[in-house]
Amino acid sequence: MSLPQHVGIIMDGNGRWAKQRNLPKIMGHRNGVKTAGDIVKACAERGVKALTMYTFSSENWKRPKEEVDALMALLEENLKKGINELHANNVRFNVIGRRKGLPLSLINEFDRAMALTSVNTGIVLSLAINYGGRQEIFDAACELAARVSDGRVKIDEIDEKKFGDLMYTKGLPELDLLIRTSGEMRISNFLLWQSAYTEIYVTDTLWPDFTSAELDKALAEFEKRERRYGG
Protein backbone atom coordinates (compact mmCIF):
# COMPACT_ATOMS: atom_id res chain seq x y z
CA MET A 1 0.00 0.00 0.00
CA SER A 2 1.25 3.48 -0.93
CA LEU A 3 1.09 5.22 2.43
CA PRO A 4 1.22 8.99 2.97
CA GLN A 5 4.20 9.93 5.12
CA HIS A 6 2.58 13.13 6.41
CA VAL A 7 -1.18 13.55 6.90
CA GLY A 8 -2.88 16.83 7.77
CA ILE A 9 -6.43 16.89 9.14
CA ILE A 10 -8.91 19.77 9.31
CA MET A 11 -11.08 18.49 12.15
CA ASP A 12 -14.40 20.12 11.30
CA GLY A 13 -17.94 19.48 12.49
CA ASN A 14 -17.81 19.38 16.30
CA GLY A 15 -20.44 22.11 16.66
CA ARG A 16 -22.82 20.54 14.14
CA TRP A 17 -22.39 17.14 15.78
CA ALA A 18 -23.47 18.61 19.13
CA LYS A 19 -26.34 20.57 17.58
CA GLN A 20 -27.74 17.46 15.92
CA ARG A 21 -27.92 15.86 19.38
CA ASN A 22 -29.23 18.94 21.21
CA LEU A 23 -26.03 19.03 23.26
CA PRO A 24 -23.90 22.01 24.32
CA LYS A 25 -21.20 22.84 21.76
CA ILE A 26 -18.44 21.95 24.23
CA MET A 27 -19.67 18.34 24.15
CA GLY A 28 -18.91 18.27 20.45
CA HIS A 29 -15.40 19.47 21.20
CA ARG A 30 -14.99 16.87 23.97
CA ASN A 31 -16.01 14.08 21.63
CA GLY A 32 -13.75 15.57 18.98
CA VAL A 33 -10.79 15.31 21.37
CA LYS A 34 -11.56 11.62 21.92
CA THR A 35 -11.67 11.09 18.16
CA ALA A 36 -8.32 12.86 17.80
CA GLY A 37 -6.72 10.45 20.25
CA ASP A 38 -8.13 7.46 18.37
CA ILE A 39 -6.87 8.77 15.02
CA VAL A 40 -3.37 9.48 16.33
CA LYS A 41 -3.19 5.87 17.46
CA ALA A 42 -4.60 4.59 14.16
CA CYS A 43 -2.14 6.64 12.07
CA ALA A 44 0.77 5.38 14.17
CA GLU A 45 -0.39 1.77 13.77
CA ARG A 46 -0.61 2.18 9.99
CA GLY A 47 2.89 3.62 9.71
CA VAL A 48 2.18 7.31 9.05
CA LYS A 49 5.31 9.27 10.02
CA ALA A 50 3.74 12.66 10.78
CA LEU A 51 0.23 13.86 11.61
CA THR A 52 -0.67 17.55 11.78
CA MET A 53 -4.10 18.40 13.21
CA TYR A 54 -5.76 21.81 12.78
CA THR A 55 -6.77 22.38 16.38
CA PHE A 56 -7.34 26.13 16.77
CA SER A 57 -6.92 28.60 13.93
CA SER A 58 -5.85 32.22 14.19
CA GLU A 59 -9.40 33.06 13.03
CA ASN A 60 -11.01 31.04 15.84
CA TRP A 61 -10.40 33.95 18.25
CA LYS A 62 -13.51 35.49 16.65
CA ARG A 63 -15.65 32.90 18.41
CA PRO A 64 -17.44 33.79 21.68
CA LYS A 65 -15.01 34.22 24.58
CA GLU A 66 -16.82 31.56 26.60
CA GLU A 67 -16.25 28.99 23.84
CA VAL A 68 -12.60 29.99 23.34
CA ASP A 69 -11.90 29.77 27.08
CA ALA A 70 -13.56 26.35 27.23
CA LEU A 71 -11.49 25.13 24.29
CA MET A 72 -8.23 26.29 25.87
CA ALA A 73 -9.14 24.61 29.15
CA LEU A 74 -10.09 21.42 27.29
CA LEU A 75 -6.76 21.38 25.46
CA GLU A 76 -4.80 21.80 28.67
CA GLU A 77 -6.86 19.22 30.56
CA ASN A 78 -6.48 16.56 27.87
CA LEU A 79 -2.80 17.18 27.31
CA LYS A 80 -2.15 16.72 31.02
CA LYS A 81 -4.16 13.49 30.99
CA GLY A 82 -2.86 12.10 27.74
CA ILE A 83 0.79 13.03 27.38
CA ASN A 84 2.11 10.08 29.37
CA GLU A 85 0.23 7.66 27.11
CA LEU A 86 1.57 9.43 24.01
CA HIS A 87 5.06 9.19 25.46
CA ALA A 88 4.64 5.49 26.28
CA ASN A 89 3.60 4.93 22.64
CA ASN A 90 6.77 6.65 21.33
CA VAL A 91 4.86 9.65 19.92
CA ARG A 92 6.81 12.90 19.55
CA PHE A 93 4.57 15.83 20.44
CA ASN A 94 4.85 19.17 18.67
CA VAL A 95 2.92 22.44 18.46
CA ILE A 96 2.93 24.84 15.50
CA GLY A 97 1.53 28.37 15.41
CA ARG A 98 2.03 31.60 17.30
CA ARG A 99 2.25 31.51 21.08
CA LYS A 100 1.20 35.12 21.63
CA GLY A 101 -2.28 35.26 23.12
CA LEU A 102 -2.35 31.69 24.41
CA PRO A 103 -2.75 31.10 28.18
CA LEU A 104 0.60 30.81 29.94
CA SER A 105 -0.47 27.61 31.69
CA LEU A 106 -1.23 26.03 28.30
CA ILE A 107 2.13 27.14 26.89
CA ASN A 108 3.87 25.61 29.90
CA GLU A 109 2.02 22.35 29.32
CA PHE A 110 3.09 22.38 25.66
CA ASP A 111 6.72 22.86 26.68
CA ARG A 112 6.52 20.03 29.21
CA ALA A 113 4.96 17.68 26.66
CA MET A 114 7.49 18.53 23.95
CA ALA A 115 10.43 18.10 26.34
CA LEU A 116 9.09 14.77 27.63
CA THR A 117 8.67 13.31 24.13
CA SER A 118 11.58 15.02 22.35
CA VAL A 119 13.66 11.86 21.87
CA ASN A 120 10.78 9.64 20.78
CA THR A 121 11.15 8.10 17.33
CA GLY A 122 7.56 7.25 16.40
CA ILE A 123 4.92 9.38 14.71
CA VAL A 124 5.30 13.15 15.07
CA LEU A 125 2.01 14.63 16.26
CA SER A 126 1.77 18.37 15.58
CA LEU A 127 -1.17 20.38 16.88
CA ALA A 128 -1.72 23.57 14.89
CA ILE A 129 -2.86 26.04 17.55
CA ASN A 130 -3.27 29.78 17.01
CA TYR A 131 -2.18 28.82 13.51
CA GLY A 132 -2.80 30.36 10.10
CA GLY A 133 -1.10 29.47 6.83
CA ARG A 134 -0.74 33.08 5.72
CA GLN A 135 0.76 34.13 9.05
CA GLU A 136 3.20 31.21 8.83
CA ILE A 137 4.43 32.42 5.42
CA PHE A 138 4.53 36.02 6.69
CA ASP A 139 6.56 34.97 9.75
CA ALA A 140 8.99 33.08 7.51
CA ALA A 141 9.41 36.11 5.25
CA CYS A 142 10.06 38.37 8.24
CA GLU A 143 12.65 35.96 9.64
CA LEU A 144 14.38 35.69 6.27
CA ALA A 145 14.46 39.48 5.94
CA ALA A 146 16.01 39.73 9.41
CA ARG A 147 18.69 37.19 8.49
CA VAL A 148 19.53 39.11 5.32
CA SER A 149 19.59 42.38 7.23
CA ASP A 150 22.06 41.18 9.84
CA GLY A 151 24.25 39.35 7.33
CA ARG A 152 23.45 35.75 8.22
CA VAL A 153 22.08 35.13 4.72
CA LYS A 154 23.06 36.71 1.40
CA ILE A 155 20.30 37.55 -1.05
CA ASP A 156 21.83 35.41 -3.79
CA GLU A 157 21.81 32.42 -1.40
CA ILE A 158 18.04 32.47 -1.00
CA ASP A 159 16.18 29.59 -2.61
CA GLU A 160 12.93 27.73 -2.08
CA LYS A 161 14.50 25.27 0.35
CA LYS A 162 15.95 28.02 2.56
CA PHE A 163 12.56 29.70 2.68
CA GLY A 164 10.74 26.42 3.33
CA ASP A 165 13.09 25.67 6.20
CA LEU A 166 11.67 28.71 8.01
CA MET A 167 8.17 27.24 8.09
CA TYR A 168 6.79 25.94 11.38
CA THR A 169 6.87 22.42 9.92
CA LYS A 170 10.64 22.34 9.30
CA GLY A 171 11.97 18.80 9.59
CA LEU A 172 8.67 17.09 8.81
CA PRO A 173 8.06 15.11 5.60
CA GLU A 174 6.24 16.81 2.74
CA LEU A 175 2.47 16.92 3.27
CA ASP A 176 1.04 14.06 1.22
CA LEU A 177 -2.61 13.91 2.23
CA LEU A 178 -4.98 16.56 3.58
CA ILE A 179 -8.23 15.27 5.08
CA ARG A 180 -11.18 17.54 5.80
CA THR A 181 -14.25 16.31 7.65
CA SER A 182 -17.83 17.68 7.54
CA GLY A 183 -17.96 18.17 3.78
CA GLU A 184 -16.68 21.74 3.48
CA MET A 185 -14.73 22.25 0.24
CA ARG A 186 -11.99 24.60 1.40
CA ILE A 187 -8.63 24.40 3.18
CA SER A 188 -9.31 27.31 5.57
CA ASN A 189 -5.81 28.81 5.70
CA PHE A 190 -4.23 25.49 6.74
CA LEU A 191 -0.70 24.53 5.63
CA LEU A 192 -0.83 26.72 2.51
CA TRP A 193 2.87 26.44 1.66
CA GLN A 194 2.95 22.71 2.40
CA SER A 195 -0.18 21.91 0.34
CA ALA A 196 1.25 22.74 -3.09
CA TYR A 197 1.03 19.12 -4.34
CA THR A 198 -1.00 17.56 -1.54
CA GLU A 199 -3.80 15.13 -2.29
CA ILE A 200 -7.07 16.38 -0.75
CA TYR A 201 -9.75 14.09 0.65
CA VAL A 202 -13.09 15.49 1.84
CA THR A 203 -15.71 13.47 3.71
CA ASP A 204 -19.19 14.48 4.88
CA THR A 205 -18.53 12.67 8.17
CA LEU A 206 -18.46 15.06 11.13
CA TRP A 207 -15.22 14.95 13.08
CA PRO A 208 -16.54 13.24 16.26
CA ASP A 209 -17.82 10.41 14.02
CA PHE A 210 -14.54 10.01 12.12
CA THR A 211 -13.30 6.51 12.96
CA SER A 212 -10.26 4.45 12.03
CA ALA A 213 -12.46 2.89 9.32
CA GLU A 214 -13.03 6.39 7.90
CA LEU A 215 -9.28 6.97 8.02
CA ASP A 216 -8.76 3.76 6.06
CA LYS A 217 -11.14 5.04 3.37
CA ALA A 218 -9.00 8.17 3.02
CA LEU A 219 -5.80 6.11 2.85
CA ALA A 220 -7.33 3.79 0.25
CA GLU A 221 -8.37 6.80 -1.84
CA PHE A 222 -4.84 8.21 -1.55
CA GLU A 223 -3.44 4.93 -2.87
CA LYS A 224 -5.56 5.27 -6.03
CA ARG A 225 -4.30 8.77 -6.84
CA GLU A 226 -1.69 9.28 -9.53
CA ARG A 227 0.66 11.98 -8.27
CA ARG A 228 2.25 13.76 -11.24
CA TYR A 229 3.59 16.92 -9.51
CA GLY A 230 2.79 18.97 -12.60
CA GLY A 231 4.50 16.53 -14.96
Q: Kindly name the residue from 12, 31, 130, 176 that is annotated as catalytic.
A: 12
Which residues are registered as beta bridge partners of 51? 7, 125
Burial pattern 179-216, b for ≥16 Cβ within 10 A else e, equals bbbbeeeebebbbebbbeebbebbbebbbbbbeeebbe
Q: Kindly name the residue from 22, 31, 38, 60 that is annotated as catalytic.
A: 60
Which residues are registered as beta bridge partners of 202? 180
Specify whether 12 is catalytic. Answer: yes
Residues with Cβ within 8 Å of residue 108, at least 6 apart in sequence: none
Specify whether 209 is catalytic. Answer: no
Residues with Cβ within 8 Å of residue 80, at least 6 apart in sequence: 109
Q: Which residue intervals of 21-165 are DSSP H helices?
A: 25-46, 65-88, 104-117, 133-149, 160-164
Residues assigned a catalytic role: 12, 60
